[in-house]
Structure 1
Amino acid sequence: MGQLSETQLRRLEEHKYSCASTSLMDPLMQKWWCWLVDQCSLTLAPNLITITGLIINIITSLVLCYYSPDAKQEVPRWACFLCALGLFIYQSLDAIDGKQARRTGTSSPLGELFDHGCDSLSTVFVSLGVCCSVRLGTLPYWMFFQCMMAVTLFYCAHWQTYVSGTLRFGMVDVTEAQFGVMAIHLISVIFGSEFWSLKGTSVLSPVVPLIYILAPAVLIAWKSPENLYLQNPIVYLLTFGCVSARVTNRLVVAHMTKSEMAYSDSSLLGPGALFLNQYFNCPIPERTLLYVVCAYVIYDVVKYCRQVCLEICQHLNIMLFTIVPRCPPASGHASEKNGSSSTSKYMTRSISKAKSH
């Protein structure tokens, strides 16, 4: 028995591709994609273009996995550059396969299925490549979250398509995410994968958590269909201000303890929830979620500060808000320190001066 029933095959003939996009970068890339497809022979099958890009993407990602099988080792810089180049080639070929199909009059439901099927596999390898490039294996649970989130977002995008009948791309979507991944690889090329160490000692390492705060703050306010910032400026700024305070406190602790500063932070889960809610077309009212996130980040920063203060107090044997009376020193020692010792010192000086005269 086959995978598709006769009914499914008949309905497949009636399928019409529907897509809506407000991507910021797609219009900028159209000239490159149109030029590239014009260089292709009219005898070149669109699906062959798609599979070629996928194979290149998989091979370049596996090179990184070879040098860092558990995503903990530092990978060669040339391998990161190769992976970035492989993703750019895949992106370009993936963008022109549909153009080639329309150009050659060979558009079919198979082409759409083949394209999205290759995208689903590419998502897995792109995620693994990023993990190796930034050494995310040093935090295995974050690595698990990142990879699972990538494939989940891809699935949910097509779930939305299944329900609405139209594949929708937002202003910041696949193309922008791919360029973001390429930028990560190129940073690893310039500074080395050690730059992304989750406990970085680099002078630039504190910049990364700041970017994690500023980027979501700007994007969420910009993309909000409910004008989340303009309608709730105090709560919005309080939310991201508390996240910034949390990260700043960790920077101060890292400085005072001469230790490394981790990039990941539990307070970033709040902005992440707002971002994901927008990605799924706001199933939760944005204002309601903002208030929940605000409460969470306030709790998180208070909890962190409390724990740090208590741990330091316990270690130094001091109190936070009170002064513990100290036992006065023994009288003998006190007189020696404050009286006889000082007197003998000055007497010695006086005698020395007298002798000199």
Structure 2
Amino acid sequence: MGHYIPKRRLPALHAYKYSGQDDSWISANLLSPWWNWLVQQFPLWVAPNTITLSGLALVGINFASLLIIDGGMDCGTSASLDPRRRTENLNASGDKWASVSLFEHWGFPESMKEHTFSQVRCIPPWVFLSWSIGLFLYQSLDAIDGKQARRTGMAGPLGEMFDHGCDAINTTLESLLCCAALNVGRSYWALASVVATLSNFYLTTWEEYHTGTLYLSAFSGPVEGILMICVIYLITAIVPGGANFWNRGIFSLSGIESLDVPALAHLAAWNIKANEAFLSFGATALGFNILASYGNVRKARAAKGLSTVTPLTGLLPLLAQNVVMVAWALGNHGQLLKDGSVFVAFISTWGLGFAYSVGLLIVAHVTKAPFPYWNIATLFGLVGAVDAWLPTPILQSSPQRVQVTVLSSLGLAAAFYLHFCYDVITTITVETGKPCFQVVPPEQQKPKNEGKELSKKQ
């Protein structure tokens, strides 16, 4: 205990107070009444963190269904790489124009263009429906845990840590689920999706560290972003063809190709796949989020007479982690993308490392500690990336050794993150007197070292 929160930082836990601002019209006018009703259905003896963990468990069930049915994301990969499936999907949809990819080889490494497939099992519609319901319930439970904390007098830094930790895990899992629903498989688009979603989450946390306030804009990931993904799951569940729907071109879906206008014929060359068009929109949104987050940081720092440039160095850990993980995935002739089970384990490793990185940042925020520029999680990715780009890889010299390397990294990442969670939770609960999964009366929440701290101040 005390590895991540040293004794000299413990007093800051008692001074911590949550600050948030939500500018979403949907939150204020549509979701808030639902959230206010929902929280009243929970007895006061239910701990806020129990609600948070229950929401994450629903996402875990969704992820488990992906692993059971299409654990290697083979369906979306086959839909793009297998010419027979592309022809079958075009004939089944009745589209006149073939869909077009923005990348060569449909967004896959050249080494996979001759990839052969045996019988591929695709995800049935009811699973996507369950994902939509599960994610919506996750959002609802994530929104009311703070309300329950205030109802029970259990609000504090542990809730902030627990909430962000679960959100970080959910962000990675939803990236994979969304890629399965959009039918992009193990492509470059899957990597881009992970980069975009994790970066958006990191930006929000980075912004909160420097401003002291969690800002949710008029269009934010936790509100509109999640609802948009719920709609994607719902559409995939109800449209003919399921996930193959998203491989159709945007002009085919919009009906433009059916218009008898010769001048529009040239648009056939730009009949971009709907899934790639949607993910391109997400990349554009990331750029706007970067500007918005930095605008809030710049304003807060300028008001205090502090440098408005220095905080930008706090984006370096995110950049480093993204670069090394993408480099690892693309090295060794794209071996990580060829093996489905290894790919999912690799993304999970990336997600745990990211959650560890964000956890360090939240700890620094609630304890007023210096910005955490370094964490060991990035080292795993660096070792894997360097080895993958060697002329002859040492650790990953065969598909079997790639699998061993990735699974070993996953185990190490899980061990580090679990140790982090245990250490931080134990430290905060002992210091504040507020258990993680139990509601206790206010009189029993007296900090253990309150008298000692008061005597120091006197």
Higher relative contact order (CA 8 A, sep 6+): 2
> Any gaps of 5 or more consecutive residues in structure 2?
76-121, 257-263, 297-458
Conserved? CA contact 1:195–1:205, under 8 Å: no
Q: Aligned match of 1:204 in 253, 276, 283?
A: 253
Contact 2:200 2:286 in 1 (8 A): no
Alpha-carbon distance in 1 for matches of 2:182, 2:285: 19
The answer as to whether partners of 2:23 and 2:218 remain within 8 angstroms in 1 is: yes
Distance 1:282 1:145 in 2: 24
- The one-letter amino acid paired with 2:268 is V
Any conservation in 2 of the 1:205–1:261 contact (CA below 8 Å)? no
Q: 1:262 aligns with which of 270, 273, 278?
A: 273
TM-score (norm 1): 0.60
> Would you say 1:145 and 2:192 are equivalent positions?
yes
Q: Does 1:128 align with 2:130?
A: no
Alignment counterpart, residue 203 of structure 2, candidates 143, 147, 156: 156
CA contact (8 A) 1:54 1:122 kept: yes
Counterpart for residue 60 of structure 2: 58
1:8 partner SS: helix
8 Å CA contact 1:64–1:80 kept in 2: the answer is: no
Q: Does the C-alpha gap of structure 1 residues 280 and 9 become closer, same or farther in structure 2, counting only changes over 3 Å?
A: same
In 2, the alpha carbon distance for the partners of 1:62 and 1:93 equals 20
Q: Which amino acid aligns with 2:2?
A: G
- What's the offset of the Cα at 1:109? 1.1
Measure, in 1, the Cα distance between the counterparts of 2:204 and 2:194.
Answer: 16
Instruction: Tell me the amino acid that sits aligned with residue 118 of structure 1.
Output: C
In structure 2, what is the equivalent of residue 45 of structure 1?
47
Partner of 1:12: 13
Report the AA paired with residue 189 of structure 1.
A
Determine which of 198, 219, 228 is the counterpart of 1:172.
219
Q: Deviations over 1:258-304 (max 9, x none)?
A: xx753436986995575344443459xxxxxxxxxxxxxxxxxxxxx
Change (3 A) 1:272 1:59: same
Greater mean deviation of Cα atoms: 92-101 or 269-278: 269-278
Is 2:160 the partner of 1:112? yes
1:22 counterpart residue number: 23
Cα deviation, residue 43, structure 1: 0.7
**Residues 1:282 and 1:108: Cα distance change in structure 2 (over 3 Å):** closer
The Cα shift of 1:12 comes to 1.5
Selected match of 1:251 from 262, 267, 287: 267
Give CA-to-partner distance per residue, 1:45-79, whole Å, 9 cap, x none: 11101101101112113312432223341311111
Q: Distance in 2 between matches of 1:250 and 1:72?
A: 33
Identity %: 36
Q: What is the aligned-residue RMSD (CA, Å)?
A: 2.9
Give TM-score scaled by structure 2 length.
0.47
One-letter code aligned to 2:151: R
Q: Which runs of 5+ in 1 are unaligned?
A: 208-247, 255-259, 284-357
**Counterparts of 1:250 and 1:148, CA distance in 2:** 33
Offset from partner CA, 1:186-205 (integer Å, 9 cap, x none): 010111111012x5599427
How many Å separate the matches in 1 of 2:71 and 2:206? 32
1:251 deviates by 3.3
CA distance in structure 1 between the aligned counterparts of 2:251 and 2:231, rounded to whole angstroms = 19
Aligned residues: 237
The Cα shift of 1:108 comes to 1.6
Aligned partners of 1:169, 1:249: CA distance in 2, in Å? 43
Indicate which of 144, 155, 159 corresponds to 1:96.
Answer: 144
Matched, 1:275 2:288: yes
Structure with larger Rg: 1
Partner in structure 1 of residue 243 of structure 2 = 193
